[in-house]
Each structure stands twice: as C-alpha cells, then as structure tokens.
Structure 1
C-alpha cells in the first residue's frame, strides 16, 4: 500500500498517530490505542500501522453536513442517517462499507473471470497458431516433395532426350564420316591419275604412249565421285 503522510493522534491531538483503527477510521497514538483496546465496546477493533493504511475518506452529506454511512439502494446514492429518516424515508438501504465491500468483491470476481477468459483465449490462439504453423510446414513439405518428383521426371526426360540426340548424331556422323573417307579416296585416285597424265605428256608420241593413254582413259571412266547429300542431316527433338 502507499504510505500515508505523518498524522497526529485524533484522540489526544498531541502525539504522533502511528496506529490506525480500521473500524473507527481514526489515527491513534500508542497510549490512546491501549486505552481504546481496554474499552468494552472497542476492545475487538483492529489496528494497523498508519504507514501501511490508506484510510477511506469520510464524505459529508451536502444537505445535513453529516458523515454518509449508508447507501440508498432505491436512489443509488450515499446518504447520512438524517437522510434515512428524512427525504429517503421508506427506501431500501445498506451500509456504505458493506456496499463498498460487496462492490470490491464483485469487481474482483468479475475481473478475475475476464482475465481467466482472456488467458484461456490466449492459450487457444497460441495452440491455433502452433497448429497453423504445423499445417504450413506440412504443405511446404508436400510441395517440396512434389517438386522433387517433378524435377526427377524432368531430369530423366532430359537425360533420355540427350541420349537420343547423341545416338542420332552418332549415326549421322558415321554416315558423313564414311562419305568423307570415300571422297578422300576418290580425290587421291583423281590426283594420282592427274599425275599420270602429266608424266605421259612428257613421253614420246608412239604406240606405247597410245596404249598408256587408252588405259588411262579406262581408269578415268571407272573413277566415280560419290555425290554428297543435298541436305545435311538434322537432329529433331520432340518436347
């Protein structure tokens, strides 16, 4: 509790009011407290150190200038004893302290109930968030696994297509390589015959030269240059 300011004993009005009577709502010094506790009607009053107590302020009735000690339940206002027998005669009443205690208890109970409800709601929300996160992780995992499957299929398809391209290219390359080799042989044979022509051109024109030229004519006639394809091979990949 907040510490109250230093008070003077309200009984002897001289010593320090170090004690506070909860029932009388007054400050007492130690001597006056002892006297108060020895009185028959007040011996059961409860005291607390004044430094630990925030006393209830006393309200005065604006009509009678008396301490208000009752609550008119009919009008819902605090009243004094003169009001009870006067302008509020016949109304329903309760003690001010009882009403305050009841309101404190009701407020405390209601607030605790709402705090409990909010706490339970918070727990449910936290559990919901955890469950939501688990679902998200599950979905992400499923997507990742599906992506892995698709990637495996794509990789397999790519590997198969690359293998198909390599197989086609090998076959077509073999054909072109064979054609190149045959052409090289034809070219060599042609160059050899051309060389033979130059050699014969340097010999004497006689019967022997005639025979040699006739043989050369036969060789040239037998030399066949293989044609190359008009369109070179192409690789086709179907996606």
Structure 2
C-alpha cells in the first residue's frame, strides 16, 4: 500500500511551475506544490496560513464511473444496495431510497468501529473471567488433593499405593476438564486475533479511495464482523471430596470419593472459527447464498438485492 502511494506521489507534478515534483499538497488550494513553490506560497500574505501535508498522505477521491451512464458514482441505492450515478437516480432506480456515497461509507465506518470495539471488549471480559475461573478450579483441585493426602496420612502404610492411585485419578480427570477450559480460552484468543486482523483491515480500507469498491469492501467487512463469535461465559466445573471414616478393613471401599463436574458452555450449533482472509483490496463476496442470505431481483430496476432468509 505504501509503495502504491509513493508511486502515485512521484507521478504528480507541481501545479505551479509544472516542472518539479509535486511532493507537497496544499489543503486549502487542493493543489500539488514542489518545495520551492511551497515556500513562495507561504510567503504570500493571502496564503501564508495555508496548511500543507506530504503528497504521500493524500488519499485520492473516488472517481468510479457508472457502467451504464459513464458518470461519476456519487449515490447509493439503498433499495438495491448498489452505488449509482445521478442519471440512475432519475432513471432505472426512480422512486428508490437513496443516500450519498460518502454518507454511506461514513456510516459503515462508524458501525464497524463500534461493533468491532464492542465485541473485542466482550471477548476480553469473557476471557478474563474464564482465566479467573480456571485459577479457582485449579485451587479447588489442589484443596481436594490436599484433603485426600491428609486423610490418607491417617491410614497405615498398606494404603499408600491406593492413595497414590486416587490422587493420580483425580488429576487425570481434572486435567481433562482443565484442557476444556484451556481450549475455550485459546478459542477466545483466536477471536481476539481475528478481531485484530479485521481492525487492521479496516484501518487499511480507510486509506483507500471512497468509491463503490470501498463500499463493497466495507459491506464485506460488516459481514465478517457479524460472523465474529464470542465464546459465552461457561459454568465452571466443580470438584469436592467426601471423606469416609477409615478402618483397617477393606481400605479401598472405605476411602472417600471425589467428583468433578463437566465444563458447560452456552454455545449451540456450528461455530465458524475461520473467517475469510482479507486480501489487499478486500474483495467483496457476491455468491448468491452466503451465511443465511440470498439475493433477489428488484422489479423496479432489475438489480439484485441481498436480504436475510
């Protein structure tokens, strides 16, 4: 992306002397200046307060053309969910609902930022609580192990082997439940990683032209953010030990027992973990059926429109 911007800036020529490279951009005049012309421009009384920025940081305005009328695309037909020109507004899309392309892009940016921020915060909060629950579970396991050890210490040497077997058993079973919690935390970290990647994609999209391609990319980003799932807070497993009075007879039967409850989540159905990897242009997926949506053709303009099932 940076190399594209550098190549674009290098192709600009100073619009004043029309000879040197236009490396500086005047925000008030909306013109490219070379270093010498910029200095002269700032010395003039009428323009000495003008602000400049590097031409490398100038994002070009969208100049996409309508394929039907060869006019600049400047509106969005909300009825058909496509970018259109002014001739489309009074022609094939007449009496449809419209908004300005710039406004639609701004709304999508704000919505994506807010929704992604909310989900990342929710995922962070959920992961912190799960880690806290995992720590408490480990502490409970250790408490039970200690109880078993203390109870076993009251029994004669003949039961030492049984004590070791029982401790090994509870650790094995608790390890299975711990692994489940660890897996959930790992999945949540992956959600955060996907959210971070989407955030980087969103940042890169903001540097691109404000045209219909950006609109489609932002719409695709909206779908990907909606598919970003957050693991619900689990009901953490419990562990306890029920001691029995011990005698010299039938040690195994008189020993206490332990029980570990299973990990439970509120998750139902299929959870899609792999989101589409964003490309450099963040290509928009236009398949007819995708994640519970389908397209139908508008009777007024003949354009395809996406709707929920």
Structure-2 separation of matches of 1:10 and 1:90: 45
Give the equivalent residue in structure 1 for 2:32: 28
Equivalent pair of 1:7/1:18 in contact (CA under 8 Å): no
Cα RMSD (Å)? 3.8
The two structures have a TM-score, normalised by structure 1, of 0.51
Matched, 1:100 2:105: yes
Structure 2 unmatched runs, 5+: 161-247, 250-309
Offset, 1:56: 4.7
Offset, 1:47: 5.9
Matched, 1:132 2:137: yes
Structure 1 unmatched runs, 5+: 40-44, 156-237
Give the equivalent residue in structure 2 for 1:200: none
Distance 1:27 1:130, change over 3 A: farther
Distance 1:109 1:59, change over 3 A: same
- Please give the secondary structure, in 2, of the residue aligned with 1:150: coil
Structure-2 separation of matches of 1:46 and 1:92: 39
Distance 1:154 1:107, change over 3 A: closer
> How many residues end up aligned between the 2 structures?
150
Choose which of 7, 11, 28 in structure 2 pairs with 1:7: 11
Structure-1 separation of matches of 2:154 and 2:116: 56
Equivalent pair of 1:70/1:96 in contact (CA under 8 Å): yes
For CA contacts below 8 A with separation 6 or more, give which structure has more relative contact order.
Answer: 2
Structure-2 separation of matches of 1:117 and 1:87: 44
Matched, 1:52 2:54: no
- Cα-to-partner distance string for 1:62-109 (whole Å, 9 max, x where unaligned): 011121111111111111122122222222211111111110111111
Structure-1 separation of matches of 2:27 and 2:91: 29
Give the equivalent residue in structure 2 for 1:69: 74
Structure-1 separation of matches of 2:106 and 2:85: 18
Structure-2 separation of matches of 1:116 and 1:23: 39
